[in-house]
Structure 1
Amino acid sequence: MKKFICVLCALCVLLGAATLPAGAISFSNNVVTRSKSILMVNRDIGQVVFEQDADEKRYPASTTKIMTYIVAYEHIDDIENTRIPIKKSVLDKLKGTDSSSANLADHVGKKMSAIDLLYSMMVPSGNDAALTLADYVGDGDIDKFVDMMNEKADELGCENTHFMNPDGLHDDDHYTTARDLYKITTYALTLPHFFEISNTTEYKCEGDEYALTTTNYLIDQYRGGEYYYQYAEGVKTGTTDEAGRCLVTTASADGNSYILILLGAPYKAGEMEEYYTFTDAADLFRWALVDLQMQTIKSTQTPICEAKVKLAWGRDKVTLVPEKNLNAVMPKDLTPENIVVETNVDEVISAPLRTDTPVGTAAVYYVDTKTGDKQIVATVNLVPSENLDRSGILAVLDVIGTIFRSYWFIVIIVAILLILAGYVIAGKIHRNRQRKRRKVKKYRNF
C-alpha cells in the first residue's frame, strides 16, 4: 500500500505538470533580493511567476533533507511504529563537521520511532537523524541510500542534481538547482506527514525532556522575531559557508498559494550571518500576494481570429475561439496591451467543422510594457465558434476541381493532346502522300 500511494503521488505530480501553462513568466517587480537563485511558483496551477538563475547549479546544504525524507518515507513501511536503533558508530561520522544536531547522542543504544527521526531531521535540521535514517534504510550502507536519492532525483526529472550525502554537508559534487529542488519539494508535499512535519516549529520526541525547535524563523511566531512572516508555511532551511543561506518555503493567503526556492544568499560564519533568505522570502511573498492574481486571459467566448472556410454552403469564413478558458496568474493592473496572440491556422480550412475539434493553435504572450520583454503564457487549441456542415454539391465540385488541378491529371491531358496532335500530324502527312500518289498516277495516264 505504501508503494502504491507513492506511485500514485508521482503520477499526480507528473499529470499536474502536464496540464500546467506552457510558459514560465518572470514578472518584473521592485523587490530587492540577495539570493543568487530564485524560483517562485503559483501552487494552484504550477505557473512560474518569478525566477532568477533557476537552472544554475548550487550547493543545497540542508535542503537536501527534503529528498532524504522522500527516500526514507518510501522505504519504511510504518513510520509511526518502526523502531530504529541509534548507533554511536553512525553519529561518530559527524565528528568535526560542526553539524546541526537533534541530540540523538542522548538515545545511543536505544531505539527511536521513524516518525520521531523524521521530525528530528526536518525541524531542527538534525544531521544525526538524517544519517541514522540513511543507515537504517540502506541496511547499514549510507552510500546505498545516497544512490536511492539520486535514482529518485532522476525519476522526478531532475536534470542538474547530484547527491553525495543525506544531510547536505558540503561536497563539491553535491549540487542541485532551484528548478530541480522545486520538483523534489512538489513531490514531497504529496507525501503523508511531510507538510505537517516541515511546518512544525516545536516537537518533543518520545522520552525527551526538551522540545526540538525549528531553524525556520519565517514560520516561528515566538522565536522568529523580525523574520517571522504570518502567511509562510514550512518547508526547510539550509546553511553552509559554501552554499550560503538556502530556503524552501510556501505561503498562502486569500485563496492564493506560492512555493519559493531560494539558494545562495550571502553567509559566512562569524562574518555575515544575516538571514537574507527570510527577508527575500517575505518580500517576494508580499509582492506576489498583493500585486498578482488569477485572471482569465482568454475565454471560450473570446474571438481570436477568422479563418477562410471552403465546402460550407453560403459561408466563406468562421470565427475561431480557445478550446478552453486560459487562466493564468497575472499582474492586477494587466491591460490589453500586455497580451499578444500569435495564431497558427491553415490558410483555408474545410467543412465540416465542429466546436469540439481543434483546427489550429494560438500562442499567448505576456509583454512587459516597461521592459519590452515578451514571454509565452501558454499555447491553446483553437476551435470554430459554431458548427458548419459540409455541402455535398460543393464537395463534388471541389473533388472535380481538385482532379482538374492535380499533377497527374495535367500530365494525362498533356499526353492525350500530344497523342491527338501526333494523330493529326500523322493524318496530314498521310493525306499529303496520298495526293502525291494520285498526281503521279494521273501524269502517267497522260
Structure 2
Amino acid sequence: MKRKFIRVLSVLCTLVVLACVFAPTAGAASFTNSVATKSESILLVNTDTGQTVYEKEADTKRYPASTTKIMTYIVVIENVDDIENTRVTIKKDVLDKLKGTGSSVANLEAHIGKTMSVKDLLYSMMVPSGNDAAMTLADYVGGGSIDKFVDMMNDKAKELGLKNTHFKNPDGLHDEDHYTTARDMYTMASYALKLPYFEEITNTTEYYCEGDDEPLTTTNYLIDQWRGGDYYYMYAKGIKTGTTDQAGRCLVTSASADGYSYLLVLLKAPYKEGVEEEYYTFTDAADLFRWALTSLELNTVASTKTPICEQKVKLSWGKDSVLLVPEKNFSAIVPSDYEEKWITIETNVPDEVDAPLDTNTVVGTATIYYQDDKMTEKQELATVNLVPSEKVELSGFLYVMNVIGTIMKSYWFLVAVGVIVIILVIYYITSKINRKKAKAAKKVKHYRNL
C-alpha cells in the first residue's frame, strides 16, 4: 500500500515538475550583479515563482560527482515499500568494488554481514556522502545488479525530461559518459524535494545509525553551524555536495528568508586534491543567496487594469476596436530598485478579430522583457495571454452581411456562378440558333406553298 502511495506521489511530482519547467508563463532573467563567482555552471531559481534570476552556462554538460546521489535517492525511495522497516544486508563484494577509488564512505565495512534499514542507508548516502551506502542501495534495489539500477536512473532521467543527463554509476565517481547540466540538476532536485524524507535527510548535519556510537556528519558546511565556520550560512538548507578532480566542487542547495525561497545549482568550482581545495561552492552559494535575498523582490509588472494595446474589431455596430489587457496580474522577481522604463512589452495579436468578444476571450499574447541600464540584452520575464478589457457585442445585421459576403467570395460560390453563366450563355446561343433554324424553316414552307 505504501509503495502504491509513493508511486502515485512520484507521478504527481513528475507532473508538477514538468508543469513548472514548461509552463508558458515561466521566465528566465539573468540579472546583473556584482557577485564574483568561481563555479563555471550556475542556475539560481526563485522557487516561489519558478523564475530563473541568474544563470551561467546552465546547459553546458558537466560531471556531477556526488550530486548524482540525488537521482540515486529518487530511484530508491520510489522502489522501496517501507524504508524504516526494510532491512538490507551489507555485502563485502559490493563494498570491494570501491577499493582504490578514493571514495567518501560511511564506514559500512563495520556492518558487513549485518543488516541496516534503508532509511539509515539513505542517511549514510546523503549526509556524509557515502559511496558505500549508494552502492549497497543500488545493489539491493537493482535485485543484485548495480547495472540494472543505473538503467533505472537513466529511465527516470528520461521520464523527467532530462535531455543532457546520463548516468554510469549510483555514486558519482568519474566516468566520461556520466554527466548532467545545472538545468537538469535543478529539475532533479526540484522533483526530489517533493518526495518523502528528502528535505529532512538532506538538511541533517548529524545522524546516528542504529547501533552506532559515532554519528554521521554532513559534508555540507553551508548548513553546519558547528563545523562550517565561515562557510556557514544561516538561511541555507541542504541539499548535496560533490567533489572529484574532474568535476571540481559541486553543490545543490536552497535558502529561504523573508518570504522568498531559492534553489541553487553550482557545478565545477575549482578543485584539485592537494593543490586547490578551497570550498568555492559554499562562498559562491552564500554570496548569491545574499544578493538574491537582499536585492530582488516580487513586483507586479503587468496589470489587468493597464491596457497593453488596442485591437481592431469587426462585426460590432458602432465599435471598431477594443483595448487588450493581461488575462491575469503578472508578478515577477525583479531588482528592488527597478524602474518601469526597464520593462518592455511586445505583442503578438492578429490584425483584427470578430465580435462577439468576452473579457475572458484570449485574443493574443504579450511577451514581457526586462532590461536595465547595465544589461546589453533584454531578458524575457514571461509571456502572458491578452484579453479584451470589456465585452464587445455582435451585430446581427453585420454578421448576416458578412456571411453573405463570405459566401459570395467563396470558391464554390464563384464556381456555381461560373456554371450558371456558362449555362445561360449556352442557353442563349442555343436559343438563337434554334430561332434561326425556325425562321429558315418558315421561309422554306412559305416558298413551297407558292
Query: Same fold, TM exceeding 0.5?
Result: yes
Asked if residue 163 in structure 1 is aligned to residue 167 in structure 2, the reply is yes
Contact in 2 for aligned 1:366/1:375 (Cα 8 Å): yes
Asked if residue 338 in structure 1 is aligned to residue 345 in structure 2, the reply is no
Query: In structure 2, how many angstroms separate the alpha carbons of the residues matched to 1:132 and 1:101?
Result: 11
Residue 25 of structure 1 is matched in structure 2 by 29
Query: In structure 2, how many angstroms separate the alpha carbons of the residues matched to 1:415 and 1:86?
Result: 89
Residue 172 of structure 1 is matched in structure 2 by 176
SS at match of 1:303: coil
Give the root-mean-square deviation of aligned CA atoms: 2.6
Asked if residue 99 in structure 1 is aligned to residue 103 in structure 2, the reply is yes
Gaps of 5+ in 2: 437-450
Q: Which of the numbers 332, 339, 351 marks the counterpart of 1:328?
A: 332
Query: In structure 2, how many angstroms separate the alpha carbons of the residues matched to 1:431 and 1:363?
Result: 73
Shift of 1:424: 9.2
Query: In structure 1, how many angstroms separate the alpha carbons of the residues matched to 2:428 and 2:409?
Result: 27
SS at match of 1:159: coil
Contact in 2 for aligned 1:20/1:45 (Cα 8 Å): no
Query: In structure 1, how many angstroms separate the alpha carbons of the residues matched to 2:8 and 2:416?
Result: 65
Query: In structure 2, how many angstroms separate the alpha carbons of the residues matched to 1:407 and 1:192?
Result: 63
Shift of 1:278: 0.5
SS at match of 2:78: helix
Residue 399 of structure 2 is matched in structure 1 by 395
Q: Which of the numbers 7, 28, 34 marks the counterpart of 2:38?
A: 34
Shift of 1:156: 0.7
The residue identity in structure 2 corresponding to 1:281 is: A
1:7-22 → structure 2 map (5 Å cutoff): 7-19=11-23, 21-22=25-26
The residue identity in structure 2 corresponding to 1:325 is: N
Cα 1:94/1:427, change in 2 over 3 Å: closer
1:14-413 → structure 2 map (5 Å cutoff): 14-19=18-23, 21-406=25-410
Shift of 1:23: 3.0
Deviations 1:15-74 (A, max 9, x none): 333436343221111111110111111111211111111111111110011111111111
Shift of 1:147: 1.0
Cα 1:392/1:228, change in 2 over 3 Å: same
Query: In structure 1, how many angstroms separate the alpha carbons of the residues matched to 2:181 and 2:318?
Result: 58
Contact in 1 for aligned 2:162/2:184 (Cα 8 Å): yes
Query: In structure 2, how many angstroms separate the alpha carbons of the residues matched to 1:106 and 1:236?
Result: 25
The residue identity in structure 2 corresponding to 1:240 is: T
Shift of 1:402: 3.4
SS at match of 1:75: coil
Query: In structure 1, how many angstroms separate the alpha carbons of the residues matched to 2:24 and 2:406?
Result: 42
The residue identity in structure 2 corresponding to 1:397 is: M
Shift of 1:368: 3.5
SS at match of 1:377: strand
Contact in 1 for aligned 2:20/2:26 (Cα 8 Å): no
Query: In structure 1, how many angstroms separate the alpha carbons of the residues matched to 2:141 and 2:364?
Result: 51
Contact in 2 for aligned 1:21/1:328 (Cα 8 Å): no
Shift of 1:366: 1.8
Query: In structure 1, how many angstroms separate the alpha carbons of the residues matched to 2:421 and 2:136?
Result: 91
Cα 1:430/1:105, change in 2 over 3 Å: closer
Query: In structure 1, how many angstroms separate the alpha carbons of the residues matched to 2:17 and 2:225?
Result: 31
Shift of 1:422: 9.4
Contact in 1 for aligned 2:25/2:384 (Cα 8 Å): no
SS at match of 1:209: coil
